[in-house]
Chain A
Amino acid sequence: MGNKFSRRDTLKFGLGATLGATTALYAPAVLSSDAPVIRYLGTAVNMGDEIEKKLFEDTGIKVQYISKTTDEVTKSVLTQPNSFDIVDSEYFSLPKLVPSGNILGMDTTRIKEWDNVTSIFTKGMTPSGKKVGLQGTAPSKVMYLTGATSGKFADEATQYATLIPTVYNADTLGIRPDLIDAPVTSWADLMRPEFKGKAATLNIPSIGIMDAAMVVEAMGEYTYPDKGNMTKAEIDLTMKIFTEAKKAGHFRAFWSDFNESVNLMASGEVVIQSMWSPAITAVKAQGKPCVYQPLKEGYRAWAAGFALPKTTKGKQADVVYEFINWYLSGWVGAYLNRQGYYSAVLSTAKEYMSENEWGFWMEGKPAAEDILSPSGAKLGSVGEVRDGGSYEDRMGGVACWNATMDENKYMVRKWNEMVAA
């Protein structure tokens, strides 16, 4: 791969130098037959054929997806930083990635829409000024670096960002309203006795423990100073409650794969569980009612963004920055918003969405006409309102963020103990 690039670059440079401005007419043809390729490492969340096609149409850049799970993305950044040109990582991985020195600070002066990036990332509040919960690895706490290669987080805004945000969302419990009698309003309802053998949670320790903490707090067992950074005693307490429930047969299953969560819910094996928003859509697409239930204690949020490995330099870095600018310019934002995620730059995405779409997804208004997914599947009928309502209500209701704890090693061990119990 490396050789190919340098050959291409040399070719381009050579052509540019010899043909130069005098034959500017020929240049586009030459360049388009020699499309730059970027290797894009990330989770499958924001990878899609449509994005790839549109990108090539608009910019002539080709993208090569390297799709992995969240944990594997982190592993790749740490162990194989030269295997990709750009990484789409979650913010909660940053406490591992940044000290390793394998990713560079992103130069915000090269990002056209930087000033329009939603204040959730830059200030930790919604656009209307409502403060969001900052427990856990909240993006606003790890947004800036003290320098491009410093490896240290900055307390104040600097020129260098850790990640250029791409996509984020607020997660909650998913339920099957047709199989549940009493309304679900709190995280504590996951442990309601009537759901014995019909509840599930996920077997990804770093996310599972956050959901567990939301439950424990909602049950009134304990109030954490910071759910996203527990002490050993707090981990013990949280896991004890879940271990007892597990032993008593409260959980039908734990899931570790997105598709498992869809199957559990669609088959009716489980009626209430920790879930991700596209999984709700997938259950609905099978004709089963499924609600992403807003809960009074708030949401557990996550966010992802772009970074360059230290090995992406020069012309290749220019191409990657061009890609990021295109990514934030609106089309992709609209594409993400239509799936129930949120885009980092709201103003540009709005231009690519119809009034009805914007009203439904972002403002919590009833749909004036059918709501379609990017692939054309029907997600909502006329009059329907999005679960949880508007962007302000959902993101404003965030209680904590996915996190990497100081006691990570201990937490993973305790989680394994629960599975073995």
Chain B
Amino acid sequence: MTKISRYFVPKFSWLALPFAAVFFLFFVIPLFLTIIVSFWDYNDYSIIPDLIFENYVYIFEGCFQFDADLCMTFKTYLSTLYFCLLTWGLTLFVGFFVAYFLAFYVKTIPIQIVLFLICTIPFWTSNVIRMVSWIPLLGRHGLINDTLIFLGIIDAPVEWFLYSEFSVILALVHLYTLFMIVPIFNSMIRIDKSIIEGAYDAGASEIQILTNIIIPLCKPGIVIGSIFVVTVVMGDFVTIGIMGGQQLASIGKIINTEMNYLQLPGAAANAVILLFITIIIIITMTKFIDIRKEL
């Protein structure tokens, strides 16, 4: 009882109603419908109410013959998870130190705000413009290749700068590091400065302060940032598609293709599985830390 009353103050709980209503209308109901449709049948031009498991069977067809090649679904999830893991690691590394710099090395708030806005630059342009602008930079005849050739470092253009796993990861990190910076920065500025001063006075080095005080106190920020990055990358198909030259698989792309061909129940089944896997990842992450307790 005491635990619940910590979160629900009856007198003010109606304040949550508008948001709860939005959530119910635009999240719970559509999600429920998606789950229902994933058990429906379909033909070329319509979906047919039914209760079949074929959409799921179809997804895992050939997945449990271990002597054969990996099936498409497993391959696609492996590739998606691989992008997810690398992007998560890199955005965490870059994001943590950018936030660290912003929180502890930048002294005045106006400059903090200015630097923060600079971090949002990747979001100032549309996907299409970003897509176009990577080619002159990373392309076969792009700025980087031309410069390296001019300096005599390479003889022929490096092909894997663009339309490769490298370019996908680069674009994902470029885009989503901000999602790490914001919650980690938020955790950092709430750390009581006197704790750090105390540690410093007691003779702790900067690295000791970082590992013993700042990182433990930033855990909620890290987990929240990780949830953002992981969920966004798991569902991404635009960036992986564009930067991978449409030759790298992502589960989002499969769903997108199925939607375009009106195979809605198939797409719904894929979406349900994607949701399921993403939820497992998030639950695992929150096992390490109780976000609510720390907030």
Tell me the A residues contacting B by CB distance below 8 Å. 69, 71-72, 74-75, 78, 95-97, 99-100, 197, 200, 203, 205-206, 246, 251-256, 259-260, 263, 267-269, 404, 408-409, 412-413, 415-417, 419-421
Residues of A close to B45: CB separation below 8 A: 78, 96-97, 99-100
B262 contacts the other chain (CB 8 A)? yes
B176 beta carbon closer than 8 Å to chain A: no
User: Complex Cα distance A181/B172, Å?
Assistant: 38
A109 CA to B219 CA, complexed, in Å: 74
Given contacts A267-B139, A267-B141, A417-B72, contact A253 B163 (CB under 8 A): yes
Contact with A along B241-268 (1 / 0, CB 8 A): 1100111110001100111111100000
Known: A251-B245, A263-B135, A267-B136. A420 touches B72 (CB 8 A): yes
B261 touches A408 (CB 8 A): yes
Residues in B neighbouring A74, C-beta threshold 8 A: 262
User: Within 8 Å of chain A (Cβ to Cβ): is B46?
Assistant: yes
Residues 199 to 244 of chain B near chain A (Cβ within 8 Å): 241-242
B130 at the interface (CB under 8 A from A): no
Chain B residues with Cβ below 8 Å from A99 are 44-45
- Who on chain A is nearest to B259 by CB? A75
A254 touching B245, Cβ below 8 Å: yes
Closest to B249 in A: A420
A150 CA to B139 CA, complexed, in Å = 53
- Report chain A residues within 8 Å CB of B46: 78, 100
Q: Which residue of A lies closest to B136 (CB)?
A: A267
Is B4 part of the binding interface, using a Cβ–Cβ cutoff of 8 Å? no
- Which bracket fits the contact residues of B? 35 or more
Minimum distance in angstroms from A254 CB to a CB of chain B: 4
Q: Do residues A253 and B247 form an inter-chain contact, with CB atoms below 8 A?
A: yes
Q: List 11 A-B residue pairs with CB atoms under 8 Å apart, sorted by A's residue number.
A: A69-B260, A78-B262, A251-B247, A252-B163, A254-B245, A259-B132, A263-B132, A268-B139, A416-B72, A419-B249, A420-B76
Chain A residue nearest to B44 (CB atoms) is A96
Known: A75-B260, A416-B72. A254 touches B242 (CB 8 A): no
Which A residue's beta carbon lies closest to that of B260?
Answer: A71
Q: How far is the CA of A259 from the CA of B126 in the complex (A)?
A: 14
Please tell me if the beta carbons of A404 and B246 are within 8 angstroms of each other in the complex.
Answer: no
Q: A253-B245, A259-B128, A420-B249 are in contact. Are A412 and B261 (CB under 8 A)?
A: yes
Could you tell me if A72 and B260 are in contact, using CB atoms closer than 8 angstroms?
yes
Q: Are A415 and B262 in contact (CB under 8 A)?
A: no
Which chain B residues lie closer than 8 Å to A71 at the CB level?
Answer: 260-261
Which residue of chain B has the shortest Cβ distance to A204 in the bound complex?
B260
- Give complex CA distance A421, B73 in Å: 11
In this complex, what residue of A is CB-closest to B69?
A421
Seed contacts A416-B249, A419-B249; 6 additional CB < 8 Å A-B pairs: A69-B260, A78-B46, A100-B45, A404-B44, A416-B76, A420-B76
Contact across chains for A205 and B261 when beta carbons are under 8 A apart = yes
In B26-46, the 8 Å CB interface with A consists of 44-46
- Chain A residue contacts of B131, Cβ below 8 A: 260, 263
Tell me whether A254 and B246 are in contact (CB under 8 A). yes
The minimal Cβ–Cβ distance linking A192 to chain B, given in whole angstroms, is 18
In the complex with contacts A267-B141, A420-B75, A420-B249, A260-B242 CB distance below 8 A: yes
Contact of A255 (CB < 8 Å), options: B44, B246, B253, B257: B246
| A78-B46 Cα distance, complex, nearest whole Å | 7
- Expressed in whole angstroms, the Cα–Cα distance for A264 and B259 within the complex equals 26
Q: Are B263 and A409 interface neighbours, CB within 8 A?
A: yes
State A100–B44 Cα separation when bound (angstroms). 9
B174 within 8 A of A: no
Distance in angstroms from B273 CB to nearest chain A CB is: 15
Which of B141, B163, B248 is the one whose CB lies under 8 Å from A268?
A: B141
Residues of A near B159 (CB, < 8 A) are 197
Contact A256 B246, beta carbon cutoff 8 Å: yes
> Does residue B79 face the partner (Cβ distance < 8 Å to A)?
yes
Q: What 9 A-B pairs have minimum CB-CB distances, sorted nearest first?
A: A253-B245, A420-B249, A254-B246, A71-B260, A203-B246, A100-B45, A96-B45, A417-B72, A96-B44
CB-nearest residue of chain B to A419? B249
Bound complex: CA A256 to CA B241 (Å): 9
Among A99, A252, A412, A420, max chain B CB count under 10 A is at A420
A344 to B112, CA, bound (A): 62
Q: What distance in Å separates the Cβ of A396 from its nearest Cβ neighbour in chain B?
A: 31
Chain A residue nearest to B254 (CB atoms) is: A416
Q: What is the distance, in angstroms, from A171's C-beta to the closest C-beta of chain B?
A: 19
In the complex with contacts A251-B247, A253-B245, A269-B140, A416-B44 CB distance below 8 A: no
Contacts of A78 in B (CB 8 A): 45-46, 262
Bound complex: CA of A259 vs CA of B253, how far in Å? 19
The docked-state distance in angstroms from the alpha carbon of A412 to that of B256 is 11
Question: CA of A78 to CA of B139 in the docked complex: distance in angstroms?
Answer: 41
B178 within 8 Å of A by Cβ? no
Closest A residue to B62 using CB positions: A417
Contact with A along B32-67 (1 / 0, CB 8 A): 000000000000111000000000001000000000
A412 touches B257 (CB 8 A): yes
Query: Considering only CB atoms, which chain A residue lies closest to B74 in the complex?
Result: A420
Q: In the bound complex, what is the Cα–Cα distance between A197 and B260 (angstroms)?
A: 28
- Minimum Cβ distance to chain A for residue B85 (Å): 18
Q: Which residue of B lies closest to A201 (CB)?
A: B246
Query: A96: which B residues are within 8 A, CB to CB?
Result: 44-45, 262
Q: Binary interface profile of B, 104-126, with partner A (CB < 8 Å = 1, else 0)? A: 00000000000000000000000
CB of A419 within 8 A of CB of B44, answer no
Least CB distance from A314 to B in Å reads 26
B247 & A254 in contact (Cβ 8 Å cutoff):
yes
In angstroms, Cα B246 to Cα A251, docked, is: 10
Chain B residue contacts of A420, Cβ below 8 A: 72, 75-76, 79, 249, 254
* Cβ–Cβ < 8 Å partners of B263 in chain A: 409, 412
Contacts of B180 in A (CB 8 A): none
Return the chain B residue nearest A259 by Cβ: B128
Residues of the A chain whose Cβ atoms lie less than 8 Å from the Cβ of B248 = 419
| A residues near B139, Cβ cutoff 8 Å | 267-269
CA distance A367 to B221 in the complex (A): 67
Interface string of B152-170 (1 = CB under 8 A from A): 0000000100110000000
Q: Taking A100-B46, A269-B135 as contacts, is the C-beta distance between A419 and B163 under 8 angstroms?
A: no
